[in-house]
């Protein structure tokens, strides 16, 4: 709950679409649920399904963070 001041007529929309404390799913695809205000950071920095660059310059496109350890071993 965000404890924000919301008019009664706007409460449903706020709770469903706007509230930064509402529970949402990761848009990248890992299945994690978290508060909306934390989603961007999780998707960009912590999600195992986010796309990352290979540190070995292997030119693999669309490499997921969860697969980075496999690439490091090759």
The pLDDT-based confidence of 1 (bands split at 50, 70, 90) is: confident
Three-state DSSP class for 64?
strand
Confidence check: pLDDT of 74 > 80: no
The tens digit of pLDDT for each residue in 15-72 reads 999 999 999 999 999 999 999 999 999 999 999 999 998 877 777 888 999 988 777 6
At residue 63, the 3 state secondary structure works out as: strand
User: What's residue 31's pLDDT?
Assistant: 94
Q: What is the pLDDT at residue 4?
A: 83
pLDDT on residue 72: 67
In order, the DSSP letters of 5-57 are: ---GGGHHHIIIII-TTSEEE-SSSS--EEEHHHHHHIIIII-TTSEE--TT-
**Is 3.30.40 the CATH number for 8-73?**
yes
């Amino acid at each position: 709950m965000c404890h924000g001041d919301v008019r009664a007529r706007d409460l449903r929309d706020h709770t469903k679409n706007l509230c930064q404390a509402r529970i949402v799913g990761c848009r990248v695809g890992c299945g994690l649920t978290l508060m909306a205000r934390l989603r961007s950071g999780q998707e960009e920095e912590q999600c195992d399904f986010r796309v990352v660059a290979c540190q070995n310059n292997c030119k693999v496109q669309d490499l997921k963070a969860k697969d980075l350890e496999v690439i490091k071993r090759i």
